[in-house]
Structure 1
Amino acid sequence: MADHIDELNAGLREFRGAVHASLLDRVLCSVIGFGAEPSLVQRLLPMDELADLPAPGASAGTDFGPVFTFLRTSIESDARVLAAHRLPVHRPLVFFLSDGQPTDPVTWPAAFASLVDLSWANRPRMVAFGVGDADEEALSRIGTFRCYLSRDGIRLGKALIASVMHVLSTSRPPGNRTLS
């Protein structure tokens, strides 16, 4: 991902610049990086507080399964914190960015299935975005909400804007939560 960090940061800046200021504090964002192991890059914060992403360190692989497991745990934890502060908890929207092939092709689908399990109210809407040599077939399976490839001329900022604005315009108030 190191070869694409400038593109990713430009996309985040484009998104922040395009979204009306009154919405930026309502859109919470965290960043999880992954390679061989996932890690929390930035804790859950309002989108307008999101800093540019640091360049990723070297990694021996791109294991998708551990990041899906880590993501489910993170969503559960963040939802508990928000609820404890009496903030509305909406279904999350996850942007999964990849620039290559999963190095755990046999095991990641089970972890992904747990993440998007229909019986879990906090299951995320998944938007997959591929850069460089991203595995189009894997990303099309992961992008349950949408899937974009930069090689098709789609910029990250535009994909973020379109996906977030669609979710915001179609979200139900927390009291009317449905499994969709």
Structure 2
Amino acid sequence: MDVLPCYLVCDVSFSMVDHIDELNAGLREFRGAVHADPAVGARLRVCVVGFADEPRLLQPLRPAAQLTELGGPAPAGTNFGPAFAFLREVVDRDVRGLKAQRLRVRRPVVFFTSDGRPTDRTTWQAAFAAFADPDWAARPHVVAFGLGAADHVTLGRIGTSRVFLGRDGVRVGLALMVSLASTGPDHV
């Protein structure tokens, strides 16, 4: 069976206080769309990582129908670097685990949501370069989604596959479904 791992990486820092409800609404919309298409739901596995000063695994990789919602924002900054370093470890571990189950793993998709203003302005790029390394066998497609007054330049550096901006009227759930459907012929 083919499996598509999808990683929802959500900024839950203090700067996102006005956007957590929008993110949760998008996650509910996405979960509903997956529920409506059982063929997609059978192949899709979702992991949720929240980050502020430090990243946290909020939901390990599991069927998309079990997608959790985010809690409130953390009273902390927005460090992109630790999030990318942590995510590289999580993706690598998950892909190895899926392959050990003899599943055919498609190229993972990372859906990175933030207001796009990292507090580790000068250091996150090195962690992202390792995360986006073309020689890494598990290197995912990365879609960036900006909320609020997102820094589109920063998000443009992160979105190796696509960049969406909520201020353009794009909803989180729709952007996530479009991203999974359009990141390549081997996807959902």
TM-score (norm 2): 0.85
- Equivalent residues in 2 for 1:28-177, closer than 5 Å: 28-59=45-76, 61-167=77-183, 170-171=185-186
Tell me which of 15, 20, 26 is aligned to 1:11: 26
Letter in structure 1 aligned against 2:165: L
Distance 2:72 2:156 in 1: 26
CA drift of 1:50 comes to 0.7
- 1:21 counterpart = 2:38: yes
Mark the runs of 5 or more structure 2 residues left unpaired by the alignment: 1-15
Whichever structure has more strand as a proportion of its residues is 2
CA drift of 1:5 comes to 1.6
Distance 1:25 1:54 in 2: 26
Contact 2:116 2:152 in 1 (8 A): no
Contact 1:65 1:107 in 2 (8 A): yes
CA drift of 1:72 comes to 0.3
Letter in structure 2 aligned against 1:34: F
Higher relative contact order (CA 8 A, sep 6+): 2
TM-score (norm 1): 0.89
CA drift of 1:69 comes to 0.4
CA RMSD of aligned residues (A): 1.4
Contact 2:79 2:120 in 1 (8 A): yes
CA drift of 1:160 comes to 0.7
Distance 1:82 1:100 in 2: 31
- The size of the alignment, in residue pairs, is 170
CA drift of 1:133 comes to 2.6
Letter in structure 2 aligned against 1:90: R
Distance 1:26 1:48 in 2: 11
Distance 1:26 1:54 in 2: 27
Letter in structure 1 aligned against 2:166: S
Contact 1:25 1:48 in 2 (8 A): no
Match of residue 5 from structure 2: none
CA drift of 1:100 comes to 4.3
Distance 1:130 1:7 in 2: 12
Mark the runs of 5 or more structure 1 residues left unpaired by the alignment: 173-180
Deviation per CA, 1:17-65: give whole Å up to 9, x if none.
Answer: 2231221131111111111111111111111111222223221x11111
CA drift of 1:79 comes to 1.0
Deviation per CA, 1:109-148: give whole Å up to 9, x if none.
Answer: 1110111111111101000001013211100110010001
